[in-house]
Structure 1
Amino acid sequence: MAANNSPLPAGVTKEQAFGMAETEMEYRVELFNRLSQTCFSKCVDKRHVSSGLHLYFYGSRYKESELNMGENSCIDRCVSKYWLVNGLVGQMLSAGGQRPM
């Protein structure tokens, strides 16, 4: 905390802090959207069925309204791996930026 009791680091204006917060929020939303799309397309069974109840979602037919056990398990593993890799990449980028040139 700065000496003037401001919650902002020294030398950072409110506008800069808002800009950084906005950039961080955009990054997190994009990360969540990529994670959702990746794991959904990898794990959710979208096979078309010829009879019975069809559920339509963005133009695709789904067999069931709920995720089955296999889909849930796949999504759990996919999300876990996605966060793990994202964390590792973040660590590598942080460490790479600290290396002397």
Structure 2
Amino acid sequence: MAANNNNMPAAMDKEQIFGMAEMEMQYRVELFNKLTHTCFAKCVENKYKDSELNMGETSCIDRCVAKYWQVTNLVGQLLGSGRPPM
């Protein structure tokens, strides 16, 4: 019987690890896109006067992102998972 090296995960374990990493990346991209869309729609005027955000828009986006992240983490904790929900 060949010795099994415990430091090297089996092929199935590697596939599972890569699958989980891919799902995590997709989750993070979707979370970022939702956060960006929500805060942009809430804070940035539809009439673009300047090429940069004004002080009010910047402040609004900062508060929006902080609240969005706080609520997302809270819901994740209430659901019992270690990460925020999608």
TM over 0.5: yes
- The runs of at least 4 consecutive aligned structure 1 residues that moved more than 6 Å come to none
What is the letter of the counterpart of residue 55 of structure 2? Answer: M
- Provide the rounded CA distance (Å) in 1 between the counterparts of 2:25 and 2:79: 19
Equivalent pairs counted in the alignment come to 76
- Provide the rounded CA distance (Å) in 2 between the counterparts of 1:25 and 1:82: 19
1:5 shift after superposition:
2.3
- Provide the rounded CA distance (Å) in 1 between the counterparts of 2:34 and 2:67: 13
Report whether the alignment pairs 1:83 with 2:85: no
> TM-score if structure 2 supplies the norm length?
0.80
Partner of 1:25 in structure 2? 25
Bigger-Rg structure (1/2):
1
1:75 shift after superposition:
0.1
Taking only the aligned residue pairs, the percentage that are identical comes to: 68
The answer to which structure, 1 or 2, has the higher relative contact order (CA under 8 A, 6+ apart) is 2
* Residues 46 and 63 in structure 1, CA contact (< 8 A), matched pair in contact too: no
> TM-score if structure 1 supplies the norm length?
0.69
More helix by share: 2
- Provide the rounded CA distance (Å) in 2 between the counterparts of 1:64 and 1:19: 43
- Provide the rounded CA distance (Å) in 1 between the counterparts of 2:19 and 2:79: 22
Partner of 1:98 in structure 2? none
Task: Compute the RMSD of aligned alpha carbons.
Answer: 1.8
Which runs of 5 or more residues in structure 2 are unaligned? 82-86
Report whether the alignment pairs 1:5 with 2:19: no
